[in-house]
Structures are given as structure tokens and as C-alpha cells.
């Protein structure tokens, strides 16, 4: 099947075409040639990816816009369980849902972040739910350009909502707050999260704060701590605090209401467009950097070696050598 046909099928929401297009993105990350600079490669897979993105980004069909909701937090707080809860909540509304589990650390993909619970049980046979996981497999910068492209595929497939699960705040290669329209930071009571949260500056990224595992002790203390923090926020949007028991589906309606309220704020304030523009800038920059890195590593073999010899031989100073190297990039 050629790329155009594949994109056409994905636009019709055909799961297999969606899966194949996301695989195209993933395989480019996986491609170790040229330092993992997927979109820069001249190989067949890279060309196919480029063609697919051109068709998706500028093709005849008007791009469908999805709400991108990021879920982040420390391991074990209940991100995957909450993702499952939100899939169900959005499906009840009749929304088509995409899920991307982004794992910056795992050397293997295959749903390390997304529990089997979510993958298998409820949604495996639901044609309106697309679930994929992606890992960087150690390639620097790989997820920075691959994730927006995977989002574009899911968006083209008509997803109304895309949930992106990723670990940690400030530890992820993909800065979820720059990727999502709404970022949900999930905490759990009694994990020392309050203190950690303050340190990691979650208030800078959180649009909605969730204290999950509200069936455990200490939930009120965590909520109080967060409330004290958010009361100091002077920005036009003060992140609401929602308590949930994701494993029992409790609090789903409150969370949904908080998400909707934030979405309305984004639209009214013009922040929605600002965030999308920032996302577009990041994507272009990530691809450009990948291409530069690729060309740079190609130069490495000859120019850089020669320049290093000359520097050691006191024939050239390091600044002039760097200028020469950049000039050689063309
Ligand atoms: N008691 C309790 N356990 C929960 C709740 N939500 C999730 N869990 C459990 O916490 C563990 C980690 O959940 P998971 O969603 O995989 O966390 P993640 O690492 O953040 O994705 C699992 O055993 C869940 O069943 C909750 O609200 N209450
Ligand atoms: Mg998880």
C-alpha cells in the first residue's frame, strides 16, 4: 500500500492504517543510522515518513483538531489507571479517543507504561479507541520530534481526545506541558509527593492537579498542601485540585468537569492557539535539530577528525575549527 492510500485509510479511522503510520514514526526513531536522526535519513522508511507527514499536514482534507491531554506524575501514582478511567469517561460521551504512552527511558516499547489492564480489558475491541506506546530507545531527541508526529496521525484518524501518559515532571525528554493543551499532574497521598511536587515546580506545568488514591490515608493533608500552593498562583488560571480513586472510577466526573473548564478557558483566552503555535515551533525545531545532528555526525568522520589533528598540531585554534565545521555543514 502506498503512503497516500495509507493516509486515506487512517483518515477513515481504519485501525490498521493508523497503527502502520505510527509504526512508520517509531521505526524512524528506531533507525540507528545517522545517530537516530529519523526524519533526516535518506532511507526508504524516512522518505515514507516524510511523505506521510506532508500528506497529513497539508493534504486536501481539513485537519481535524483533537484535544491533547497530558497525564504526568511519579511512577505508581495511577497514571495508567486514570488514563483508563478517562478513556471510559470520554467514550461515554461518544468521543473517539487516542492514547499515547510515551516512555523516555525504556529501551523497549510494548506498553511499559500502560498497564495491561488498560490495553486489554475494556478497549481492545473498541474501534473508537487507539492505543499506542512509544519509547525513545535511547535516541537523543527522538521523542521530541516523533511524539508530535504520532499525535498528528491520531488526530487525522479523527480522535477527538488524545491522552498522553508520561512519567515524571522535568525528567521526561518530552516536555508534556509543551505538547498538551491541558496537563494533568497526578499525585498520591503519603508518597512525600507534596514536598517533591513543590521542588519539581509542578505548578508551572499543572493545569489540573489530581490527588489519586483518595481511598488512602493522608489524602486531605495532600490536598491542603496543594491548596496552599495554588492559592499563591496569580496567573489567570489557577489549577483546580480534584481527588479520585481511579481504580474504582471515582471522581471521573469531577476530573472531566475540570478538564472541560480548562478547555473553555484555553479557547476564551486565546491560550489554545498560543499553545498550538508553541507545539508547532517545537516540532519544526526538533526536526531541524535532528537533521543538523545527522549532517554533523556525517561530517564527524572526516572534517572533525582533520580539525582535531590540526588543533593538536597547533595549526588552528578551537574557535576557528568550530567555524570551519559549521561552514562545512553548508
Ligand atoms: N488504592 C488505590 N490504588 C490505585 C488507585 N489507582 C491506581 N491504583 C493502583 O496503583 C498501582 C499503580 O497504578 P498505575 O496506574 O499503573 O500507575 P502509573 O505508574 O502512574 O501508571 C496499581 O496497582 C493500581 O491498581 C486508587 O485510586 N487507589
Ligand atoms: Mg503507567
Q: Of ligand 1's atoms, which has the minimum distance to the CA of residue 77?
A: 20
| Residue 209: φ, ψ to 5° | -105, 130
Q: What ligand is nearest to the CA atom of residue 79?
A: 1
Protein residue closest via CA to atom 14 of ligand 1:
78
pLDDT in tens, 116-171: 444 445 676 788 899 888 776 655 566 777 888 999 999 999 999 999 998 765 55
Instruction: Give the DSSP letter of residue 165.
Output: E
- Separation of 77 CA from ligand 1 center, angstroms? 6
Select from 27, 243, 34, 40 the least CA-distant residue to 135.
27
- Separation of 190 CA from ligand 1 center, angstroms? 14
- Three-state SS for 54-123 is HHHHHCCCCCCCCEEEEEEECCCCCHHHHHHHHHHHHHHCCCCEEEEEEECCCCCCCCCCCCHHHHHHHC
- Three-state SS for 297-322 is HHHHHHHHHHHHHHHHCCCCCHHHHH
293: left (phi over 0), alpha (psi -120 to 50) or beta: alpha
- pLDDT value at residue 287: 86
Cα–Cα distance for residue pair 252/14, rounded to 1 Å: 29
- pLDDT value at residue 75: 83
Which segment of 45-49, 80-84, 167-171, 304-308 scores lowest on mean pLDDT? 167-171
Cα–Cα distance for residue pair 103/138, rounded to 1 Å: 10
232: pLDDT strictly greater than 70: yes
What are 167's three cell numbers? 512519567
Q: What share of the chain is helix, strand, coil (3-state, %, to 5)?
A: 55, 15, 30
Instruction: Give the DSSP letter of residue 246.
Output: G
- Protein residues with CB under 6 Å of any ligand 1 atom: 73, 75-81, 115, 212-213, 215-216, 245-247
Q: Are 169 and 22 in contact (CB under 8 A)?
A: no
- Separation of 321 CA from ligand 1 center, angstroms? 54
69: pLDDT strictly greater than 90: yes
- pLDDT value at residue 307: 93
Q: Of ligand 1's atoms, which has the minimum distance to the CA of residue 246?
A: 27
What are 304's three cell numbers? 572533525
The percentage of residues in the chain with a pLDDT greater than 70, rounded to a whole number, is: 80
Question: Which residues lie across from 211 on neighbouring strands?
Answer: 187, 243
Q: What ligand is nearest to the CA atom of residue 117?
A: 1
- pLDDT value at residue 30: 56
- Higher pLDDT among residues 65 and 159, named by residue: 159
Protein residue closest via CA to atom 25 of ligand 1:
247
Q: Of ligand 1's atoms, which has the minimum distance to the CA of residue 81?
A: 15
- pLDDT value at residue 170: 52
- pLDDT value at residue 117: 41
Give how far the C-alpha of residue 246 lies from the chain's centroid of Cα atoms, to the nearest Å: 22
User: Which strand (E) or helix (H) includes residue 223?
Assistant: helix 219-230
Q: Is this prediction's pTM over 0.75?
A: yes
- Of 77, 80, 81, the residue with max ligand 1 atoms within 8 A of its CB, to mutate for a pocket test, comes to 81
Q: Of ligand 1's atoms, which has the minimum distance to the CA of residue 186?
A: 20
Protein residue closest via CA to atom 11 of ligand 1:
76
- Separation of 131 CA from ligand 1 center, angstroms? 19
Q: Of ligand 1's atoms, which has the minimum distance to the CA of residue 82?
A: 15
- pLDDT value at residue 33: 45
Q: Of ligand 1's atoms, which has the minimum distance to the CA of residue 216?
A: 1
What are 318's three cell numbers? 578551537
CATH 2.30.30.700 fits 64-269, yes or no: no
Scan for cell 509542578, then name that residue: 202
Cα–Cα distance for residue pair 79/71, rounded to 1 Å: 6
pLDDT in tens, 240-256: 999 999 999 999 999 99
Protein residue closest via CA to atom 13 of ligand 1:
78
Q: What residue ranges do the domains of the chain occupy?
A: 64-269, 279-328
Three-state DSSP state, 208: strand
Q: What ligand is nearest to the CA atom of residue 212?
A: 1
Amino acid at each position: 500500500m502506498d503512503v497516500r492510500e495509507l493516509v486515506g485509510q487512517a483518515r477513515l479511522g481504519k485501525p490498521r492504517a493508523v497503527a502502520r503510520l505510527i509504526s512508520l514514526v517509531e521505526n524512524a526513531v528506531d533507525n540507528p543510522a545517522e545517530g537516530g536522526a529519523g526524519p533526516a535519513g535518506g532511507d526508504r522508511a524516512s522518505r515514507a515518513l516524510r511523505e506521510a507527514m506532508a500528506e497529513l499536514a497539508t493534504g486536501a482534507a481539513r485537519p481535524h483538531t483533537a484535544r491533547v491531554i497530558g497525564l504526568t506524575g511519579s511512577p505508581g501514582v495511577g497514571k495508567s489507571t486514570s488514563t483508563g478511567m478517562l478513556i471510559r469517561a470520554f467514550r461515554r460521551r461518544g468521543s473517539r479517543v487516542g492514547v499515547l504512552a510515551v516512555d523516555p527511558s525504556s529501551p523497549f516499547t510494548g506498553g511499559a507504561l500502560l498497564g495491561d489492564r488498560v490495553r486489554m480489558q475494556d478497549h481492545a475491541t473498541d474501534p473508537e479507541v487507539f492505543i499506542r506506546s512509544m519509547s525513545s530507545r535511547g535516541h537523543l531527541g527522538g521523542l521530541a520530534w516523533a511524539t508530535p508526529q504520532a499525535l498528528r496521525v491520531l488526530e487525522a484518524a479523527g480522535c477527538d481526545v488524545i491522552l498522553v501518559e508520561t512519567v515524571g515532571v522535568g525528567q521526561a525528554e518530552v516536555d508534556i506541558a509543551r505538547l498538551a493543551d491541558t496537563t494533568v499532574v497526578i499525585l498520591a497521598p503519603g508518597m512525600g509527593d507534596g514536598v517533591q511536587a513543590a521542588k519539581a515546580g509542578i505548578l508551572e506545568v499543572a493545569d489540573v492537579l489530581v490527588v489519586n488514591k483518595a481511598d488512602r490515608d493522608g489524602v486531605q493533608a495532600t490536598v491542603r498542601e496543594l491548596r496552599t500552593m495554588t492559592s499563591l498562583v496569580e496567573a489567570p488560571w489557577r489549577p483546580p485540585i480534584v481527588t479520585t480513586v481511579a481504580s474504582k472510577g471515582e471522581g471521573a466526573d469531577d476530573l472531566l468537569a475540570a478538564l472541560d473548564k480548562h478547555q473553555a478557558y484555553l479557547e476564551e483566552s486565546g491560550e489554545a492557539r498560543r499553545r498550538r503555535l508553541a507545539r508547532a515551533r517545537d516540532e519544526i525545531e526538533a526536526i531541524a535539530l535532528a537533521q543538523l545532528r545527522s549532517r554533523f555526525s556525517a561530517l564527524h568522520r572526516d572534517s572533525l577528525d582533520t580539525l582535531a589533528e590540526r588543533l593538536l598540531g597547533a595549526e588552528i585554534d578551537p574557535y576557528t575549527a568550530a567555524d570551519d565545521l559549521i561552514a562545512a555543514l553548508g
